[in-house]
Amino acid sequence: MTKDEEDFPIAFSIIVYKHVEQVERLLRMLWRPNNVYCISTDAKSRQEFVEAVVSIAKCFDNVFVYPVQVDVQWGTFTVLEPDLLCMDLLWKQNKKWRYFINLTGQEFPLKTNYELVQILRAYRGANDIQGTFKEADVDRWAGAGVPPAGLKPRKGAVHIVASRGYVDYVLHNDVAMSLLQWVKKVHVPDEAFFSMLNFNPHLEVPGSYTGDVDDGKRMFLGRYKLWFPQHTCSGRIARNICIMEVRDVQNLVKAPELFVNKFFYDHHPLAYDCLEEWYHKKVDMEKKGKLDFNTTLYKNRWITSHHF
């Protein structure tokens, strides 16, 4: 690793439920000795899958499998719960990591660890969290009552790139605890909790956005996703998300986003193979000293001020 990477550890949660080969390949690309990883397996996963994941984790002193399995059901608190459990586990590790990134086993890194570190340094402590109000389905919150602490509802995504200070707030602040109880009563709480903490400036959450949630002055770069029908989908669609295939590779290798969601292991496996080869070639070039990565886009992403 480079000195930059050694000095900038990252914490990852990875929520998985099937295809241990895909999980292993993802971990192989993400793994660096100074980072820390928490893997959460679904309660619906087959026992041999869970045992395989545990077996892989035992090979490393910085990879942990969360001991309690959650039965994840879309639209409920159980989607958010594994990430929060992993956050707590990662917080308690000795390593003082700088940023937290949550993933699933069906995603793929579009940036090497070196590139991730350069991007996160360019963020200067700001969070990369999606948020909107005007495009939200307000019916999701209708039966939950008034949010605590003067919070305004926001819609975002469960995918986040969050500063250590933000995670500290999530785990230890009374307002965050109150909000957590409130979002348990809304539909799709994982698309409300992280976003509401990041887009209510009066809370002064570390790394949060101080501008208007819908001012259009920032890009969410944490995840490359193609939603159907807003985007043309070249192949299979699952829950309105395009599943990546070979024809998407040419766009993925040029995308500024940090990760892509998502791949099915039994759908166009060649696309996954091609991206994996591309990724490892980038790492090989870094080993040879080719470290010219332009962070201008990521620095300009944060023109509006944030709480630090």
Q: Is residue 101 part of a domain?
A: yes
Q: Does residue 100 contact residue 164 with C-beta atoms inside 8 Å?
A: yes
pLDDT at residue 240, rounded to an integer: 85
CATH number of the domain that residue 207 is part of: 3.90.550
Number of domains in the chain: 1
pLDDT at residue 168, rounded to an integer: 98
Q: Is residue 23 part of a domain?
A: yes
> What secondary structure, in 3-state letters, does 28-82 show?
HHHCCCCCEEEEEEECCCCHHHHHHHHHHHCCCCCEEECCCCECCCCCCHHHCHH
Q: Is residue 267 part of a domain?
A: no
Q: Is residue 264 part of a domain?
A: no
Domain of residue 180: give its range.
3-221
Q: Is residue 265 part of a domain?
A: no
Q: What angle do CA 108, 109, 114 make, to 5 degrees?
A: 165
pLDDT at residue 179, rounded to an integer: 98
Q: Tens place of pLDDT for every residue, the chain, 308 residues?
A: 899 999 999 999 999 999 999 999 999 999 999 999 999 999 999 999 999 999 999 999 999 999 999 999 999 999 999 999 999 999 999 789 999 999 999 999 999 999 999 999 999 999 999 999 999 999 999 999 999 999 999 999 999 999 999 999 999 999 999 999 999 999 999 999 999 999 999 999 999 999 999 998 889 999 999 988 777 777 788 878 999 999 999 999 999 999 999 999 988 899 999 999 999 999 999 999 999 999 999 998 765 567 76
